[in-house]
């Protein structure tokens, strides 16, 4: 029996949850729902810093309750803009948490209600709007500075979704770079370069009034949008470059053959390194009496508990041609380059910051630097607004690579 795909999309502003009265650009939540008349898959993108794992589950449950789409068929990707709540210890009120859960659930319901026959096309184009941000100094320490030789993901992945008349239902585009070009050059709320890219893309392509343009963040843990704190004009230039590349990818995109939708999820537990001794923690508290993280670290040391990090992964596929692999937390770009190299699918997108994000996940060589490992890989890597977290063990890279390989292989079978 021939498979027929359908799609629906919707968007809404979420700027009303801001903690700051000043706004340089509206922030949005957007959703694309795909259906093969058997299962539905929901891709939600949000102009937000990141969602802790526990709160992300609240959002998933709210969407499932409203739409009957199983949580295993939903991904929520944060753009990781640093001019919105979710980073640097900024969060939203309990009232706003409830409001946002309701908002996203209603948004997905709207997209489901707009489902119509669709053709999907996939493309890729080269683009670079950022640099690797981990530079090794002569003393062997990693510092945060542009590293032209470091790993990046130098492309934009694009999914075009078209109705029966060739009109655009949605465009999903993904690139890997921290949205920090406006960061701290202004404290106003906004989406950084992804927001500028959406606005430029609206001028580059023919859209219907209801067309939705969704940006999904890739594995950007060690990539900063350039220039860091460059301000609004620099952010506009970066957004223009990304939109131009997205337009090019759409022009050269190839049609994805209609095929059954598939979804598969895996929950891993990644081990943290052992904490310092109780005596070492007490010494750190004495040296840093105003840093409550060391008090939390002392409790970890006293408990002697072997702690692990929940690490959910989820993959969606259309037949054996197209796949979206989503991972939680902030992964280094090397993981996305690995997936692009080993994926059995002809076209594979990879999203980070999806279905919860709390810590950086570095590579083996970076963790092995220990105290020299810098902001992302050193032992001061900790969760959003949470207690002190140790760095993960160097072995997690091999663990993640093996699980990704198995997940994609099983999905492709």
Q: What is residue 340's predicted lDDT score, i.e. its pLDDT?
A: 98
Q: What is residue 384's predicted lDDT score, i.e. its pLDDT?
A: 44
Q: In what order do the strands lie in the sheet with 142-147?
A: 142-147, 130-136, 223-225
Q: What is the pLDDT along the chain (413 residues), one digit of tens a residue?
A: 789 999 999 999 999 876 556 899 999 999 999 999 999 999 999 999 999 999 999 999 999 999 999 999 999 999 999 999 999 888 999 999 999 999 999 999 999 999 999 999 999 999 999 999 999 999 999 999 999 999 999 999 999 999 999 999 999 999 999 999 999 888 899 999 999 999 999 999 999 899 999 999 999 999 999 999 999 999 999 999 999 999 999 999 999 999 999 999 999 999 998 877 888 888 878 887 887 767 877 887 888 777 899 999 999 999 999 999 999 999 999 999 999 999 999 999 999 999 999 999 999 999 999 878 998 998 765 444 444 567 899 999 999 999 999 999 999 99
Judge whether 75 and 108 are in contact, CB under 8 Å: no
Using CA atoms, how far apart are residues 136 and 147, in angstroms rounded to an integer? 9
Which residues have a Cβ under 8 Å from the Cβ of 60 and sit 6 or more positions away? 71, 74, 76, 355
Q: What is residue 17's predicted lDDT score, i.e. its pLDDT?
A: 76
β-bridge partners, 412: none
Judge whether 222 and 150 are in contact, CB under 8 Å: yes
Q: What is the 3-state secondary structure (H, E, C) of the chain?
A: CCCCCEEEEEEEECHHHCCCCCECCCCEEEEEEEECCCCEEEEEEECCCCCCHHHHHHHHHHHHHHHCCCHHHEEEEECCCCCCCCCCCCCCCHHHHHHHHHHHHHHHHHHHHCCEECEEEEEEEECCCEEEEEEECCCCCEEEEEECCCCCCCEEEEEEEECCCCCEEEEEEEECCECCCCECCECCECCCHHHHHHHHHHHHCCCCCCCEEEEEECCCCCEEECCCCCCHHHHHHHHHHHHHHHHHHHHCCEECCCCCEEEEEEEEEEEECCCCCHHHHHHHHHHCCCCHHHHHHHHHHHHCCCCEEEEEEEEEEECCCEEEEEECCEECHHHHHHHHHHCCCCEEEEECCECCCCCEECCHHHHCCHHHCHHHHCCCCCCCCCCCCCCECCCHHHHHHHHHHHHHHHHHC
Q: What is residue 383's predicted lDDT score, i.e. its pLDDT?
A: 45
């Amino acid at each position: 029996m021939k498979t027929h795909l359908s799609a629906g999309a919707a968007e809404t502003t979420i700027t009303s949850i801001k903690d700051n009265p000043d706004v340089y650009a509206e922030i949005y939540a957007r959703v694309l729902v795909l259906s093969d008349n058997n299962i539905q898959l929901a891709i939600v993108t949000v102009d937000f810093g990141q969602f802790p794992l526990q709160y992300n589950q609240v959002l998933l449950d709210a969407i499932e309750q409203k739409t009957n789409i199983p949580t295993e068929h939903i991904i929520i990707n944060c753009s990781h803009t640093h001019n919105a709540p979710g980073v640097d210890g900024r969060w939203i009120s309990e009232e706003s948490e409830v409001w946002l859960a309701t908002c996203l659930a209603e948004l997905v319901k709207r997209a489901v209600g707009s489902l119509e026959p669709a053709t999907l096309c996939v493309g890729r184009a080269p683009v670079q709007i950022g640099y690797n941000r981990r530079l090794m100094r002569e003393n062997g320490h990693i510092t945060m500075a542009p590293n032209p030789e470091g790993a990046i993901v130098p492309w934009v992945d694009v999914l075009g979704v078209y109705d029966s008349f060739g009109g655009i239902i949605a465009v999903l585009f993904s690139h890997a770079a921290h949205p920090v070009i406006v960061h701290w050059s202004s404290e106003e709320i906004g989406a950084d370069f992804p927001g500028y890219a959406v606005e430029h893309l609206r001028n580059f392509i023919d859209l219907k009034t209801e067309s939705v343009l969704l940006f999904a963040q890739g594995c950007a843990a060690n990539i900063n949008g350039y220039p860091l704190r460059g301000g609004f004009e620099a952010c506009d230039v970066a957004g223009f470059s990304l939109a131009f590349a997205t337009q090019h990818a759409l022009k050269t995109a190839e049609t994805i053959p209609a095929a059954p939708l598939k979804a598969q999820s895996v929950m891993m537990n990644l081990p943290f390194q052992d904490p310092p001794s109780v005596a070492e923690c007490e010494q750190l508290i004495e040296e840093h009496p105003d840093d409550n993280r060391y008090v939390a670290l002392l409790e970890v040391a006293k408990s002697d508990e072997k702690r692990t990090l929940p690490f959910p992964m989820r993959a969606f596929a259309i037949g054996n041609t197209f796949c979206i692999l989503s991972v939680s937390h902030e992964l280094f770009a090397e993981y996305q380059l690995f997936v692009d190299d080993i994926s059995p699918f002809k076209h594979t997108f990879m999203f980070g910051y999806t279905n919860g994000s709390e810590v950086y996940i570095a590579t083996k060589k970076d963790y092995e630097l220990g105290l020299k490992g810098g902001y992302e890989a050193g032992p001061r890597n900790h969760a959003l607004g949470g207690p002190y977290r140790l760095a993960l063990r160097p072995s997690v890279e091999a663990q993640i690579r093996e699980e990704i390989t198995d997940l994609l292989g099983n999905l492709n079978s």
